[in-house]
Chains A and B, each alone.
Chain A
Amino acid sequence: MTTLSATTREVAVRATGLALSLAGCGALLWLFVHQPTNLDELTGGVAASVGAYQINQADFEQGRQFFETDRFVEARSAFARADPASRHAVTQFYVAYSFYRQGWGRVYSDDTLFTQGLEAVNRAIALAPGRRLTVEDPGLDMKTADELKVEFEQGLTRDASDFNPLRVLRKRR
């Protein structure tokens, strides 16, 4: 009886150890792939991987209000509070859109802001299910992340169309 329970205990210890080690290796791989840059992203990423991550809805709504009144820096600050781990696709879409609207210019666009916007929209696309993201907001001219991404890429590309004087007639989307 004692021998049997000793064997059972050994098997249990070894099986538990193996399962925990495999989970640890998985966590290590996750760290290398996702590269969290702070504790919020680390905890948010872990929560998101088990489907438990939620944004702060009040901060998100406040961010949208700032966004609609063209107060983009304040909007991004509110969005950062709402989604501290940068794991919510729609919030990241709005962050990217705020970079677009702030960096857009009739003659030229701000490359620094557009680069940050491109990073944000790429993040939003990566987080969206099936990499397809559509935001039904009547205040937005571009409702998909793909359109927004193209705008950023065109803004960052240097070509002959940059010298077209008719560019001054285009509108911010």
Chain B
Amino acid sequence: MTMPWAQLAVREALVLPLLLIGVAAGGGFRSGVTDGAWRFLPPTPMALVLGVLLVGVLVRTGVLAPWTLVGPHRHGLANANGAMLLATLLLASSQVFTALSPESGLLQVLASVFFLLLLVNTLAAQPTRARAMQSLGVVLLSAFVLKYVILDALYAPEGSLARKVVTTLLEGVSLGALGYTSHGAATAYVAFLVVLLYLFALVLLPGDDDDRVGPVLRTGRDGRLGEPALPRAEPARPRGEPSLPGETSLPALTGARASGAPAARPDPADH
């Protein structure tokens, strides 16, 4: 089904960038556990690296088709919209990792290595768009549960004695290197919303429509590996409707046969 240009332009120029900027702002949000004071953390260098890797995964798995957003076939304003969308996607991807990683200590290093390995693994596996989305959803929500449900509960200042014993043991085993600080309740809610909005934005991204096989297999089927694939055929457009502004419309087909023209014989292969 072809989407009207107006919806595509609104989605690409308005909806997605603003959604992703919201994700970027919310990803850095933290509220203090005692006084509720807000903080807005910018992305760390490691979060930026993970963000770039994640965008790479999105491209390789067909979730995002960047050549539909930026290229010589588009005019300047559309290219600017596409570039802005890509920039905000990179920022939002980085901030999702900022939201889901601890802010300091050994746990931050462990979380970064965990995300790095998962992304590299996904890059190597070359899953389809749907499977990549499912995998990403599981990874992000698991990280959310680990940080905001388990760790925040363990390190809560009003925790029970058993909880304090476990925390002390963990800190003792790690020689005090864990250095985790719990957050105010608002942080978890905002982070949950950020993860959901980010996944929703990924669904809205212009991607590769063919979802049956991964991009490498697609390249091999359409052309040959190592050679550029043939351009895909444009989706069928109803005759009589102009494809682009300024293009002359094709004459509409009618059911009436031209006078004197023989009727086409039905092809047995059609049955």
Interface size of A in residues (CB-CB distance below 8 Å): 27
Give which listed residue, B17, B77, B91, contacts A15 with CB less than 8 A: B77
Write out the residue numbers on chain B whose beta carbons fall within 8 Å of the beta carbon of A47: none
Instruction: Identify the closest chain A residue to B95 (Cβ).
Output: A28
Number of B interface residues at 8 Å Cβ cutoff, please give it. 31
Q: Which residues of chain A come closer than 8 Å to B21, judged between CB atoms? A: 21, 24-25, 27-28
Q: Are A13 and B37 in contact (CB under 8 A)?
A: no
CB atoms of A18 and B84 under 8 A apart: yes
A14 in contact with B246 given A31-B40, A35-B40, A37-B37 (CB within 8 Å): no
* Interchain CB contact (< 8 A) of B39 among A10, A20, A37: A37
- Cβ–Cβ < 8 Å partners of A37 in chain B: 37-39
A 32-52 contacts with B by CB, 8 A: 32, 35-38, 42
> Is B42 a contact of A14 with CB atoms below 8 Å?
no
Inter-subunit contact B246/A3 (CB<8 Å):
yes
Contact of A32 among B6, B17, B28, B84 (CB under 8 A): B28
Instruction: Considering the complex, give the chain B residue whose CB is closest to the CB of A15.
Output: B77
User: Quick one: which of B6, B77, B80, B245 has the most chain A CB within 10 A?
Assistant: B245
Interface string of B22-47 (1 = CB under 8 A from A): 00110010000000111111100000
Q: What separation, in Å, do the CA atoms of A16 and B80 have in the docked complex?
A: 12
Q: How far is the CA of A9 from the CA of B6 in the complex (A)?
A: 8
Report which residue of A14, A18, A37, A38 has the largest number of chain B beta carbons within 10 angstroms of its beta carbon.
A14
For residue A166, give the distance in angstroms from its CB to the closest CB of chain B.
Answer: 41
Alpha-carbon gap, A20 to B85, bound state (A): 12
A6 at interface, CB cutoff 8 A = yes
8 Å CB contact of A21 from B9, B17, B40: B17
Q: What's the minimum C-beta distance from B206 to chain A, rounded to whole angstroms?
A: 15
Cα distance A31–B84 when bound, in Å? 19
Residues of B within 8 A of A (CB): 5-6, 9-10, 12-14, 17-18, 21, 24-25, 28, 36-42, 77-78, 80-81, 84, 87-88, 91, 242, 245-246
- Going nearest first, the 10 A-B pairs with the smallest beta carbon separation are A17-B13, A24-B21, A21-B17, A17-B14, A7-B245, A37-B37, A31-B40, A32-B42, A14-B13, A14-B77
